[in-house]
Amino acid sequence: MLERVDVRDLITVTGEPVRVPDPDRLVHLQFRRFAGCPVCNLHLRSVVQRHEEIVAAGIREVVFFHSSVDDLRPYVADLPFAVVADPEKRVYAEFGVESSPRSLLDPRAWGPILRGVFTALVQRRPYPSLMPHGGRTGLPADFLIASDGRVLASKYGEHVYDQWSVDELLAHARVKASTA
């Protein structure tokens, strides 16, 4: 398990710099799949709905996708947090975030897959590529990183929709704040 993150300066899809770890707050580093992934979008909408609560808890959201900046732009323009493109999965590899056919084959993923696709159709979002760069079998991962780079908590997903909920993220942050 990763214990510490070295300081890195990243550039978001919108061209803004973001530093991880953040010197002033916790960072919730999320690893998602590809641009337009219906299941990732379903999850990220739950984060958007509670973004103010997350910020109030002293957490900065930084989300990675294994897609190019150009592929991501149509899908992330309205997100209120940092989105970083990592099409070559370099940072994914550093953090030990993997791909596996079980991401889609696990029965626990089927409901979220159907909800994600249905929601994307209803909202008339652009449909993602049938052959996205980096593939369709990525597994999600979450990391809560302290200002000094210590990894306070982490989760490596077992299927496509196996990530922290906002409640779980906030609970991790509360526990870490109370023990600091």
Residue 151 lies in a domain: yes
Residue 168 lies in a domain: yes
Residue 3 lies in a domain: no
Residue 153 lies in a domain: yes
Q: How far is it, in rounded angstroms, from Cα 36 to Cα 77?
A: 12
User: Which residue type occupies 90?
Assistant: R
- Please name which of 84, 89, 61 lies closest in space to residue 14, comparing C-alpha atoms: 84
Which pLDDT value is given to residue 178? 61
Q: Report the domain count for the chain.
A: 1
The single-letter DSSP state of residue 79 is -
Structural domain including 35 reads 8-179
Tell me the CATH number at 71: 3.40.30.10
Residue 1 lies in a domain: no
Q: Which residues contact 97 (CB under 8 A, 6 or more apart)?
A: 31, 89, 138, 139, 140, 141, 156
Residue 53 lies in a domain: yes
pLDDT averaged over consecutive 10-residue blocks of the chain (180 residues)?
92 96 97 84 90 97 94 88 96 89 67 64 62 69 96 91 94 77
CA atoms 97, 102, 105, 107: torsion sign:
negative
Which pLDDT value is given to residue 2? 86
Which pLDDT value is given to residue 172? 95
Residue 88 lies in a domain: yes
Residue 2 lies in a domain: no
| pTM reported for the whole predicted model | 0.85
Q: How far is it, in rounded angstroms, from Cα 27 to Cα 21?
A: 6
Which pLDDT value is given to residue 34? 81
Contact 146, 23 (CB under 8 A): no
The three-point CA angle 64-77-60 to 5° equals 50
Q: How far is it, in rounded angstroms, from Cα 161 to Cα 137?
A: 12
Which pLDDT value is given to residue 19? 97
